[in-house]
């Protein structure tokens, strides 16, 4: 059990802790009970939350007891952002998102066995707290000077917009969570992102003042890319964990496209591969970078972790089929649609000239260029070579009645979408 802290540090998953020596001792004497909170301020968790879910899983695999908190109460407020005041969501929206997040979190933890995880909602206790109880029993333990000194609060106070009492109070609510879980379940460690350091310390201080006990906090660092760009940034925003917000195919492709400079670090952080396995993949990056073995391992492992083995097998099959190494017709409509979603496209009808579709999709500069591609043997529809400049699109070419994959040469792809079909 004590080795887990060394493992987390080796993987780059530790930024700060309140007292490393004391935490090591507690882990060695374990098992301890620990928690991490997830606020439903969006309908899905994203890549940042994935770091915390991985930490939860590592600690549980080491024999410690996990508590995952979904903030049905704190999600109605949201922690203060540096950019300005949050728009408060309705109670109904927060309740719906809370259920979605519960389902997502549940995939990462084991709720059976010798150290089963717990899933809790802080609305269960915060909703029962009256304003008088809040002020008398909790508020008296907080000092404004300490609260105002928190980084995000201080920045917001210096801004033109300032900060509302609602968001300013968030750190107290998070402290209440730690205290309540300490009392109910013996929780003695809270984990979270390093940007939450101040909020996490709120609970440490509250427990010290009310219970006279010492508890621990462990934070993870901000994950960055080697080139300085923001990790997890895509055209669609965040790397969402919900399949209805980011398809498993697009999710897989994000990890597959990891740069050589990033992939080894991400293997350590986001997968459960051993040190020996990661060392072998690091050597592969160095010796055979074109094979992208490490990237394929990363994409497969993380997609399986988030979406399951079946979804991963489907997206790998789709990736291969797009470039002629698998059967396009064997892909289900959802996977195929996700696979072609970002390709250059044109609308089409049965009977349209194939050369017109190649030109309209932008795969070639003109119809004349499309005819040359056909003549040179470099034009394909659904990975079948086009042999005639007069070829037309047939009903059989429209997979699932919607898509015809266009390919110029080995790697340049586009798609013809049946007129009236969903984009």
- Could you read off the pLDDT tens digit of each residue along the chain, which spans 423 residues? 458 999 999 999 999 999 999 999 999 998 999 999 999 999 999 999 999 999 999 999 999 999 999 999 999 988 888 778 888 999 999 999 999 999 999 999 999 988 999 999 999 999 999 999 999 999 999 999 898 888 888 888 888 888 899 999 999 999 999 999 999 999 999 999 998 998 999 999 999 999 999 999 999 999 988 887 778 877 667 899 999 999 999 999 999 999 999 999 999 999 999 999 999 999 999 999 999 999 999 999 999 999 999 999 999 999 888 888 888 888 888 889 989 988 999 999 999 999 999 999 999 999 999 999 999 999 999 999 999 999 999 999 999 999 999 999 988 999 999 986 655
CATH class of the domain whose range is 233-329:
mainly alpha
Both tokens of residue 55? 């930490």
Residue listed under structure tokens 């106070």: 157
Half-sphere exposure in the Cβ direction for 128 (13 Å, CA): 7
Q: What DSSP designation does 35 have?
A: E
Q: Are strands 65-70 and 118-121 parallel, antiparallel or unpaired?
A: parallel
Q: Is 233 annotated as a binding residue?
A: yes
Per-residue pLDDT, 97: 96
CATH number, domain 343-418: 3.10.290.10
Per-residue pLDDT, 1: 47
Location of each CATH 3.10.290.10 domain in the chain: 343-418
Q: Is 252 annotated as a binding residue?
A: no
Location of each CATH 3.40.50.620 domain in the chain: 4-220
- Please, are residues 75 and 97 in contact by the beta-carbon 8 Å criterion? yes
Q: Is 35 annotated as a binding residue?
A: yes
Residue listed under structure tokens 């009256």: 130
Query: Does residue 305 have a cis bond before it (omega within 30 degrees)?
Result: no
Q: Is 238 helix (H, G, I), strand (E, B) or coil?
A: coil
Fold classification of 4-220 (topology level): Rossmann fold (3.40.50)
Sheet of 118-121, strands arranged across: 16-17, 216-220, 187-193, 33-38, 65-70, 118-121
Q: Is 170 annotated as a binding residue?
A: yes
**CA dist., res. 107 & res. 213, Å (int):** 32
Both tokens of residue 210? 């009310």
Closest CA to 11 of 275, 208, 404, 206: 275
Location of each CATH 1.10.240.10 domain in the chain: 233-329
């Amino acid at each position: 059990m004590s080795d887990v802290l060394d493992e987390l540090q080796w993987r780059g998953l530790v930024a700060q802790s309140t007292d490393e020596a004391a935490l090591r001792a507690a882990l060695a004497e374990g098992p301890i009970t620990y928690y991490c909170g997830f606020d439903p301020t969006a309908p899905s968790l994203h890549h940042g939350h994935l770091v915390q879910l991985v930490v939860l899983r590592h600690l549980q695999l080491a024999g410690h007891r996990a508590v995952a908190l979904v903030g049905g109460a704190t999600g109605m407020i949201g922690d203060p952002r540096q950019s300005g005041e949050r728009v408060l969501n309705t109670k109904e929206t927060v309740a719906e998102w809370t259920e979605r997040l519960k389902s997502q979190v549940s995939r990462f933890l084991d709720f059976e066995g010798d150290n089963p995880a717990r899933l809790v909602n802080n609305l269960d206790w915060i909703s029962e707290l009256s304003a008088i109880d809040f002020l008398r029993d909790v508020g008296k333990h907080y000092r404004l000077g300490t609260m105002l000194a928190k980084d995000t609060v201080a920045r917001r106070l210096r801004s033109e917009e300032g900060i509302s009492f609602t968001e300013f109070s968030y750190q107290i609510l998070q402290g209440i969570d730690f205290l309540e879980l300490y009392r109910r379940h013996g929780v003695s460690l809270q984990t979270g992102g390093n940007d939450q350091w101040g909020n996490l310390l709120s609970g440490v201080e509250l427990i010290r003042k009310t219970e006279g006990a010492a508890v621990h906090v462990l934070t993870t660092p901000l994950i960055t890319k080697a080139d300085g760009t923001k990790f997890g940034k895509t055209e669609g925003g965040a790397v969402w964990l919900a399949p209805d917000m980011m398809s498993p195919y697009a999710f897989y492709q994000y990890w597959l496209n990891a740069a050589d400079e990033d992939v080894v670090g991400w293997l350590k952080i986001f997968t459960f591969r051993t040190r020996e396995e990661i060392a072998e993949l690091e050597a592969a990056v160095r010796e055979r970078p074109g094979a992208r073995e490490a990237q394929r391992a990363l994409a497969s492992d993380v997609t399986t972790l988030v979406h399951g083995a079946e979804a991963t097998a489907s997206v790998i099959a789709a990736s291969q089929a797009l470039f002629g190494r698998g059967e396009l017709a064997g892909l289900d409509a959802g996977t195929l649609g996700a696979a072609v979603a970002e390709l250059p496209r044109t609308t089409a009808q049965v009977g349209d000239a194939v050369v017109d579709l190649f030109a309209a999709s932008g795969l070639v500069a003109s119809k004349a260029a499309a005819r040359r591609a056909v003549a040179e043997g470099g034009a394909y529809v659904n990975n079948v070579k086009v042999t005639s400049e007069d070829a037309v699109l047939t009903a059989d070419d429209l997979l699932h009645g919607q898509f015809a994959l266009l390919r110029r040469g080995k790697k340049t792809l586009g798609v013809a979408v049946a007129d009236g079909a969903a984009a």
